[in-house]
Structure 1
Amino acid sequence: MGRRLSLIIVVGVLLHGYVGLRLIPALSDTAGAREALWSWLLLSCAVIIFGMRNRRGAAHGSRAVLTWAALIAMGFFSLLLTSTVIRDLLLGGYWLASYLPFAWSRSVEGAQARVAVMHSSALCVVIVAVLALMKGVYNARRRAPVVDVEIPIPNLPLALDGFTIVQLSDIHVGPTIRKRYIDAIVDTVVSLNADLVAITGDVVDGSVPNLQRHTAPLSRLRATHGVFLVTGNHEYYAGADAWIAEFKRLGLRVLLNEHTVIRVGSDALVLAGVTDFSGEHFGPSHRSDPVQALDGAPESAALRVLLAHQPRTGPAADAAGFDVQLSGHTHGGQIFPWNFAVPLQQPFTAGLVRCGEMWMYVSRGTGYAGPPVRFGAPSEITRIRLVRR
């Protein structure tokens, strides 16, 4: 077990203890109930640890059921933890109010009310977490909706006005995202009749032998000018060289710090792609390099578009002279409130933003990572339309 995973597990156990200490005394009046609730938290710890250690690749039979249970438990605990923290913040305000002069809560009736508030608020936390889990699982497991985005480009040639790029990102084929899930995505993309399809990394969470059957539907993707892909960090965790070969076998054009020129009438669009921002940690040949990706591109091209998995490639891409960057990686936070943690690592969380002189679109992702839960950050199949400003 890696040191990072061990640290995550220790922190997870401590957070389970925090939730138990904050909720169980308020919810239980008998020792038996307390023991039952603590037992549930211990079981949650155990299955989440199993899920952390088996969150990539394929699982079958009882192991698959246990993996599903572990990942659902992980998502539920995230929501329960968030609700518990919010409850404690509200109770902190209530507690401070009790120290005001002539505060009603310092009376006998107020003391009784405090007990009732502790009990009802703890019960409310559990109910809110359960309802949020149900909504989150629905959001994650449904086929991602199509989101339309227009990117205004100054002096865009008429031939490229209305050029459409369908972006997929962060599909994460793995323990809970399988062939049927991918088939639905591919059917939708094909129906959009895009000029170009761009896949901005993190397609898989597992090895080629384990997931080859489930990524096979990607071979059906079609677009007027082709289907292009760049690597994400999860490709490197799973074996990037093997997956690059598999993606090529499926008919996808993998851009590794390189570009292609797409001609529409007498005008040209340069489409480039870079390896993941962290790729150099897996080998010097995979260092992300937007400058190299543009090497030899025609100066007369009307537009330069970069596919880069992580938004933090943006400053280098802007300096290299790109007009648009399409990225993913963040999942938009996936489960509230983790969207507030994304800026600790990435410059942007989701949506269309300006990065220097360049436009950047950050997808919330087409699938999900880990828990099959999305709450506050819906998935998307993005249809990007280039328009004249």
Structure 2
Amino acid sequence: MVIVFALVVLAVLAVAAALHWYVWRRLVRDTTRGRGPARRAGTAVFVAGPVLMVAALVAERSGAPFWLQRTLAWPGFLWMALALYLLLAVVAGEAVRPLLRRALDRRGRPGRDPVVAPLGRPSQLVTGQGPEVRRVEPSGTSTVAPEPRPTAAAEPARAPDPYLAPTRRLFVSRVVAGAAATAAVATVGHGTYGVLRGPRVKRVTVPLAKLPRAAHGFRIAVVSDIHLGPVLGRDFAQRVVDTVNATRPDLIAVVGDLVDGSVKDLGPAAAPLARLTARNGAYFVTGNHEYFSGAEQWVEEVRTLGLHPLENARTELPYFDLAGVNDLQGESEGRGPDFDKALADRDPARACVLLAHQPVQIHEAVRHGVDLQLSGHTHGGQLWPGSLLAAAANPTVAGLDRYGDTQLYVSRGAGAWGPPTRVGAPSDVTVIELAATRA
């Protein structure tokens, strides 16, 4: 098993190295002459970037000292996002490159190309410059004659300029590379700003047939995938808390992937969660990243912060049942989801809302007669075209969907994992407003 894992890692690294070489070739080698300072600087960036990216991933997964994680995380994870969009932009540039070349061919270049004079018969030698030409005949005599005026029929032939094609290629390479780099940097910059400014509020109405009229308009603030860690810290947590509290929800549901790190390192960053306020309390279920970070410790930590962990458990609220199950990753520790424990012996006439981190858990929810499942995990793909991969691995990537009699809502999440960047999948805190169909 270890050998298979090592081979997979080596294969991934080889592919990553090949893609970096391709992007370096287009952005650095093809746009510079010789081994000057510009090429050396560009090469240094394309060596340091992937090294820092791998180092950041290894440091986070290996539990390296937190100061080292924070030092590596920003440059390493930002390079991960930048490398992706540099690659996509360079690939898109391949389609533009021949079009630009053809446009330049049609327009031509200003200035005169070198002219090669036509040679006479082999028996003749043309000497002299200026308005007169001395012609040497085979008999040895020479005559001086005025230089003939060229006619249209005798227009001298033009030899191809040996410097023309390389110069044009260099110009095209620089234009395409500049556009690709600008687009990639702008995309990553905008996506990073979107994460750091905090999630936006999204409002969704969900009708439930079993919900009593008295609960019509009940608001649940759904928060997922905050991912506090070496990049997103205490200030970000406070921003999320302020956003949630501003919606004045009746209940708060934190549906997993709260942290990427230990309680020792991230306890202070998570402290603002103690200020979450809702009339019916705040509840928490584990995500897969909690099991990478010490799930048992974090369950106890969030309890001290005033959140109510639902570990395969259910609580009866005045108008509906609220249940929660552990994440699938918990199976590695013998603490996986147990739907029977969470949902057995409940009154089926009451509406049931289930908190489950991963959307794939919807099938068990349908089997157990759940009315609404609230999930996260997908980040909406986070970095386009990651949404295509997320769609292949999850029944629903984002938004509200229906499976039989069970509805599933998937939040894109409040934070980000790895690069603090989102493209095509803006972060959100979703306010679910329950609606009684008999109201």
The two structures share one fold, judged by TM-score above 0.5 = yes
**Which residue type is aligned with residue 329 of structure 2?**
S
2:23 corresponds in structure 1 to 19
Match of 1:373 among 410, 421, 432: 421
Question: Which residue of structure 1 lines up, in the alignment, with residue 410 of structure 2?
Answer: 362
Distance 1:297 1:241 in 2: 27
Q: Structure 1 386/113 Cα, relative in aligned 2: closer, same or farther at 3 Å?
A: farther
Give the superposition deviation at 1:292.
2.8
Assess if the C-alpha contact under 8 Å between 1:82 and 1:337 holds in 2. no
Contact residue 274 and residue 290 of structure 1 kept, 8 A:
yes
2:347 corresponds to: 298
Specify the alignment match of 2:85 in structure 1. Answer: 79
SS in structure 2 at match of 1:174: coil
Q: Which moved more, 1:115-124 or 1:3-12?
A: 3-12
Q: Matches of residues 83-102 of structure 1 in structure 2 within 5 Å?
A: 83-88=89-94, 90-91=95-96, 94=98
Contact 2:49 2:75 in 1 (8 A): no
Q: Is the CA contact (8 Å cut-off) linking 1:161 and 1:386 kept in structure 2?
A: yes
Alignment of 1:222-233 (within 5 A): 222-233=277-288
8 Å contact from structure 2 (residues 224, 258) kept in 1: yes
- What do the CA deviations read for 1:124-167 (whole angstroms, capped 9, x no partner)? 11010111121011011012111111112235321111010001
SS in 1 for 2:283: strand
The DSSP-based 3-state class of the residue aligned with 1:125 is: helix
Give the letter aligned to residue 380 of structure 2: G
Q: How far has the Cα of 1:261 moved from its partner?
A: 0.7
Q: 1:7 to 1:262 in 2, by over 3 A?
A: farther
What does 1:200-239 correspond to in 2, within 5 Å?
Answer: 200-239=255-294
The question of 1:386 aligning with 2:424 is answered no
Distance 2:420 2:64 in 1: 15
Deviation at 1:287, TM superposition (A): 2.0
Whole-angstrom distance in 2 between the partners of 1:208 and 1:247: 10
CA distance in 1, matches of 2:394, 2:324: 19
Question: Equivalent residue of 1:385, what SS?
Answer: strand
Q: Which runs of 5+ in 1 are unaligned?
A: none
Partner of 2:363: 315
Match for 1:46 among 45, 51, 68? 51
Alpha-carbon separation, structure 2, partners of 1:5 and 1:132: 29
Partner amino acid, structure 2, of 1:349: V
User: Matches of 1:153 and 1:117 in 2, distance apart?
Assistant: 59
CA contact (8 A) 1:228 1:253 kept: yes
Partner SS for 1:278: helix
**Residue 331 in 1 paired to residue 336 in 2?**
no
CA distances 1:96-121 after superposition (whole Å, capped 9, x unpaired): x99xxxx9899895978776544322
Call closer, same or farther: CA 1:136–1:225 in 2, change over 3 Å.
same
CA distance in 2, matches of 1:306, 1:85: 43
Alignment partner of 1:276 is 2:327: yes
1:318: Cα distance to partner? Answer: 1.2
Range with bigger deviation, 208-217 or 187-196: 187-196
Q: Give the drift of 1:290.
A: 2.6
Structure of greater relative contact order (alpha carbons < 8 Å, 6+ residues apart): 1
2:59 and 2:68 in contact (8 A); partners too: no
Work out the CA distance in 1 between the residues paired with 2:81 and 2:258: 21
Point out the structure with max Rg over C-alpha. Answer: 2
Letter in 2 for 1:70: G
Paired positions, count: 375
Instruction: Confirm or deny: 8 A CA contact 1:190 1:221 kept in the other structure.
Output: yes
CA displacement 1:264-292 (0-9 Å, x = unmatched): xxxx3011111112321222xx1223333
Q: Distance between the aligned counterparts of 1:137 and 1:64, measured in 2?
A: 17
Counterpart contact for 2:383–2:421, Cα < 8 Å: yes
Percent identity for Structure 1 against Structure 2: 37
Shift of 1:36: 2.8
CA contact (8 A) 2:224 2:414 kept: yes
Paired letter, 2:389: A
Q: Is the 8 A contact 2:255 2:284 kept in 1?
A: yes
2-structure distance, mates of 1:377, 1:81? 19
| Distance of aligned partners of 1:146 and 1:288 in 2 relative to their CA distance in 1, 3 Å threshold | same
Give the Cα–Cα distance (whole angstroms) in 1 for the partners of residues 369 and 92 of structure 2. 45
3-state SS of the aligned residue for 2:346? coil
Alpha-carbon deviations, 1:60-110, whole Å to 9, x = none?
A: 76863443222222221122122223333x259x58x99xxxx98998959
Corresponding residue of 1:144: 199
TM-superposed CA distance for 1:333, in Å, is: 1.1
Deviations 1:236-284 (Å, cap 9, x if unpaired)?
Answer: 0111111111122222111111111101xxxx3011111112321222x
Does the Cα contact within 8 Å between 2:227 and 2:416 map onto a contact in 1? yes
Alpha-carbon distance in structure 2 between the residues aligned to 1:245 and 1:215: 13
Return the alpha-carbon distance in structure 2 between the equivalents of residues 383 and 163 of structure 1. 10
**What pairs with 1:71-220 in structure 2 (closer than 5 Å)?**
71-88=77-94, 90-91=95-96, 94=98, 116-154=171-209, 156-220=211-275
| 2:398 is the alignment partner of 1:343 | no
Distance 1:282 1:211, change over 3 A: same
Asked if the contact 2:81/2:419 (under 8 Å) is kept, the reply is: yes
Aligned counterpart for 1:287 among listed residues 336, 340, 344? 336
TM-score under structure 1 length normalisation: 0.88
Query: In the alignment, residue 234 of structure 1 is paired with which amino acid?
Result: H
Deviation at 1:176, TM superposition (A): 1.1
The counterpart of 2:39, out of the listed 30, 34, 42, is 34
Q: Structure 2-normalised TM-score?
A: 0.78
Q: Which amino acid aligns with 1:201?
A: G
Of stretches 164-173 and 51-60 in structure 1, the one that deviates more from structure 2 is: 51-60
The letter of the residue matching 2:78 is: I
